[in-house]
Each structure stands twice: as structure tokens, then as C-alpha cells.
Amino acid sequence: MIEEIKKLKIGKVLEKVSMKEYTTYQIGGIVDAMVFPKDKDGLITLLRYLKEKSIRYKILGNGSNVIFTDQDYHGVIIKLDAFEELSIEDTTVHVGAGYSLMRLAIKLSKMGLSGLEFAAGIPGSVGGAIFMNAGAYLSDMGYIVKEIEVLTPDLETKVLYNNDLDFHYRTSFLKKNPEYICLSATMVLKRGNAKEIMEVLENRKQRRLLSQPLEYPSAGSVFRNPKDDYAGRLLEELGFKGKMQGGAQVSEKHANFIINKENASYEDVRTLIENIQKEVLKEYKIELVVEQEFVE
């Protein structure tokens, strides 16, 4: 399989890659191949081959919202890192799906464009952020994305508009239909004062450093907040802060973060998450929904 993919000459191909190096949890087994298509045509050629051969594959952004099993992944991980085009016309921004969301937010903020400030601390890709409708500070991608270009399951390109994308709290049309692949996005922002925007970003950065366990591998918030409440508050009230399961720990700084403290395994994290869900359901009759994706 790997030799055949290399013959397609569609971009970089890595063999026997550890997913620990490509996920923010630093957890995961060995994947057969990781492919970095150099452009849209290369991606289409690759997907056509994988579908014809019935080979398992997954599109991966920055690996900041996934938990990979420690078992080997027999298939292909596709990274769209080369999809990094960026053009800015007045307040309209066109950007590739592989562009770093954090880097984009900081760049646009420095230019005095307002609307993406919430994303300055989110370590995902643009495509991944749209997929899960990433957000913070009472805003999310649904407020600023005008349209996206996607590759359909039939390997045709199509434009989906904001109304098509069904943005809701930490979900979207793409999350419910993962065979559609985001290639690029068009966002509409507003003019603002660059100095004031950067001050907001700096204040939030300092607050994150104080309140989030950024010194440890994690994948950000584990659970969606229940209606009119906060998952972190429920976990703290139940005494989960600092709770260990193998090498995984509920952060002592923020109860809605699970950190890889001591070479945690996939099972450590999954077991800890499931134990929390059971306890919250038992005590509060609330079913906590996991924001992160398990990949087995």
C-alpha cells in the first residue's frame, strides 16, 4: 500500500508514524502511513485510491481534539498541512483548512480585524475548528464563517454556506457528515482597533496561564458544558480535581481538563472520562457529552 501511494506522487508520505507525535495528548499507537497531499488534486487522487482499495483513512488537523488508541492504526492518516493559502481583502478572509487557527487569530488581530479573538488560545487547524465549531468567550466559528469549500463523498468540490453548516454548540454539519472534507474557508470579520484587540488577547493569555494546565499535554476541555451550568464546576464539586487514573489526571487547575501527567495510556484517559460521566449522571442526573473524539 505504501509503495503504491508513493508512486502516486501526491506529496510527502511517512511510514510507521507514532500518533504520540501528532496529538496534543501525546497518546496513541503506530499508524501505517501518514500522507501530506500537496494540493487538492493530490488529495482527490489519494482518496480515490483509498476508496477503491477499501483502506481505512482519517483526516487529521492539529490533533488537538482527538484521543488515539494505543493499538496500531491500520490505515492512512491524512494531514492537510499544505492547505495554507491566505488572502485578505478588506474584512473578508479566505484561508486554507490546514492553516493554524491560533496563528491566524493573532495575525488578523494585529491587523485590527476583530471577530477571531476567541480563537487565539485554540491550538487547532482552521478545518478542524470548523468541523467541531470551536469556540470560547461566548463566540465560535459559526459567527464568522461565511462559506467553505468542501470535497464531497463523491470527490467533487462544492461550496457550503453558513446556513448549510448547521453550526451549534461544539458541532456542525461536518461533524455529523465526516466524509465531507473542508478544503478552505471564507470568513467575514469587522474593523477594530489593533492595540485594543491585542490587549484583550494578552489579558486572556495571562488568565489561561493561571487557570489552565498548559504545561501538560491535554486536549483542552473534555466535556461540553451542560445547559446553564459548567462541567468544570460539577467535577470540582464532586471532588474530581487531582483524581488520577494510571498516568491521566483531572487537572488541579481546571477540573474540565484531563492531562497526560505520567505517560498516560488511551485506556487511562477513557476510563477516567467514563468514571466522571457515571458519577455526574448518578449525582446530578446530567449526561455529560465528551467534546473530544475517541479514535480506535
pLDDT tens-digit map of 9-41: 999 999 999 999 999 999 999 999 999 999 999
Residues annotated catalytic, as ranges: 170, 221, 291
Q: What is the CATH number of domain 2-79?
A: 3.30.43.10
Gap between the Cα atoms of 13 and 7, Å rounded: 10
Quick one: pLDDT at residue 63?
96
Do the domains spanning 2-79 and 86-195 agree at the CATH topology level?
A: no
Domain ranges of the chain: 2-79, 86-195, 213-295
Which CATH entry fits the domain spanning 86-195: 3.30.465.10, 3.30.460.10, 3.40.50.2020, 3.40.190.10? Answer: 3.30.465.10
Domain 213-295 top-level CATH class: alpha beta
Quick one: pLDDT at residue 110?
97
pLDDT tens-digit map of 122-148: 999 999 999 999 999 999 999 999 999
Helix (H) or strand (E) holding 16: strand 11-18
